[in-house]
Amino acid sequence: MEEARNVADTSEHTGKRPADTRNTGPGRLLIAVYAIFAISATARAGYQILTKFSEAPLAYLLSAFAAVVYVVATVSLAKAGRTWFKVSLVAVLVELVGVIVVGALSLFDPVQFPHETVWSAFGRGYAFVPFILPVLGLIWLYRRRPAAPAVRI
């Protein structure tokens, strides 16, 4: 206990922040899942836009937007620093809002979504991982949030 207090005291007095640990341990698994979704959503959206865009332009553009969100989330979760933390937070929040909005719209207005997107029906086509992933991401980010910067007098 005394050692922990000494380490805390040392970091406070030296002005050094604790190491950024978002990309360690379970964070690596989270980043890997985001990377898989980034790759698959990008490939799927690219194929759909190139081959059958006229069939469901809204759905395919939303899939492309989801792919961009997954790419940004993957990169920002893997990078250290306060700025990357903020980018991660925004990306994961955008993802959650997207899954909720697109999921609800796809159920209540299926005419606008003749073909599924990654976020349709709250990610039903992907075993609801697109709905669960941002929730886990937000929990992880909350637990790994950077310490408040020290105030110097």
Q: Give me the mean pLDDT over the 38-54 stretch.
A: 93
pLDDT score recorded for residue 25: 80
Neighbours of 86 (CB within 10 A): 13
Please state, for a pLDDT cut of 90, what percent of the chain lies above it: 61
113 vs 77, residue with greater confidence: 77
50 near 109, Cβ under 8 Å? no
Instruction: Answer yes or no: is pLDDT of 14 > 70.
Output: no
Q: How far apart are CA 150 and CA 12, in angstroms?
A: 8
Average pLDDT, the chain: 85
**pLDDT tens figures, 79-96:** 988 999 999 999 999 999
Cβ neighbours of residue 112 closer than 8 Å, sequence gap 6 or more: 58, 59, 105, 106
106 near 121, Cβ under 8 Å? yes
pTM listed for this prediction: 0.81
Q: How far apart are CA 112 and CA 104, in angstroms?
A: 12
